[in-house]
Amino acid sequence: MNIVSRYASLVKFSHTIFAMPFALLSYVYAIVSTNTPFEWLLLVKILLCMVFARNAAMGFNRWSDRDIDARNPRTASRDIPAGRITPRAAMTFVVVNCVLFVAVAGWINVLALTLSPIALAVLLGYSLTKRFTSMSHIVLGLALAIAPVGAYIAVTGTVVWFPVILAVAVLTWTAGFDILYSLQDTDFDRSNGLHSIPARFTAVQSTGISIALHVVSVAAVAAIGCIYGLGIFYWIGFGLFVAILVMQHILYRPSRIDRIGATFGLVNGLASVSFAVMAIIDLLV
């Protein structure tokens, strides 16, 4: 495995698809609503910020959890405990990506630069929360919810309600599916003093909390469509988003936790991409 593949594996680069579509939706809304001319360079800056931020967050997660991952049979094959990447190399990777994130944020505008340390604090801080609070899923949701707000700020240098409501949808959607994902590690978390919703509650109760969060996410997405008078393509995307969330809860119910695996990321990636693509088409058409 070459060095690029190793680091892509370290940060699960394919999972960038979770937040990226929402950031692009917010970006398109910003240029359409403010009549801002499209600029390839600005779009590239936004994408670079997202990539550097996520690399830093996931790299730090793998570095900080390396001893925990080594004890967990499900994660023992990850790159650091498996010895494919050293802890020092992983931390160097994190620092480089943090520096690049702040540099590109400063290249975008003053507000983006000012908020970049706060964004990094949330992105990196998430990895430590499982050690002291079961609300770590919410913090993860907040980390991804930064994306649509950041994209809007990159275009306008301001914040309005559209990206904020979209951020609420991202936060609750992410926290909801992360609770389901964490069902795999319930026994390990309990035996190792780690905190999560599944470690604190039963599987049925945890699934109920996940559903409640997803109801909020659906409500936020619906609110955007109603408040901003969006059209048929948006509502098609909304329908796809809801259908995929429902399918997720059917597939990964408490009695079938064993189904959570490679398809879990695919299902959630489909939810974000299908909704965002249709919403962007609606804004442009």
- Judging by beta carbons within 10 Å of its beta carbon (0-12, 13-18, 19+), is residue 203 exposed, middle or buried? middle
Q: Whole-angstrom Cα distance, residue 122 to residue 115? A: 11
Quick one: fold of 3-284?
Tetracycline Repressor; domain 2 (1.10.357)
Q: Is 46 helix (H, G, I), strand (E, B) or coil?
A: helix
Q: Identify which of 129, 123, 117, 128 has the alpha carbon closest to the alpha carbon of residue 146.
A: 123
Alpha-carbon distance of 1 to 50, in angstroms, equals: 25
**Residue where the block lists tokens 């049925």:** 204
Residue corresponding to tokens 């996940």: 210
Which residue numbers in the chain have pLDDT < 50?
none
What per-residue confidence (pLDDT) applies to 262?
Answer: 63
Helices (H), the chain: 3-10, 20-33, 40-64, 66-71, 87-108, 110-129, 136-156, 161-182, 186-191, 197-200, 203-227, 232-251, 262-284
Query: Tens digits of per-residue pLDDT, 108-119?
Result: 999 999 999 999
pLDDT confidence of residue 266: 82
Q: What is the pLDDT of residues 24-47, one digit of tens each?
A: 999 999 999 999 999 999 999 999
DSSP string, 57-75: HHHHHHHHTHHHHHHSTTT
Q: Where are the domains of the chain?
A: 3-284
**In this structure, what DSSP letter does residue 78 have?**
S
| Single-letter residue type at 160 | V
Q: Provide the pLDDT for residue 14.
A: 57
- Cα 282 vs. chain centroid, distance in angstroms? 23
Give CA torsion, residues 90, 91, 96, 98, to 10 deg. 120
Asked if 86 contacts 80 with a C-beta cutoff of 8 angstroms, the reply is yes
At residue 244, the pLDDT reads: 94
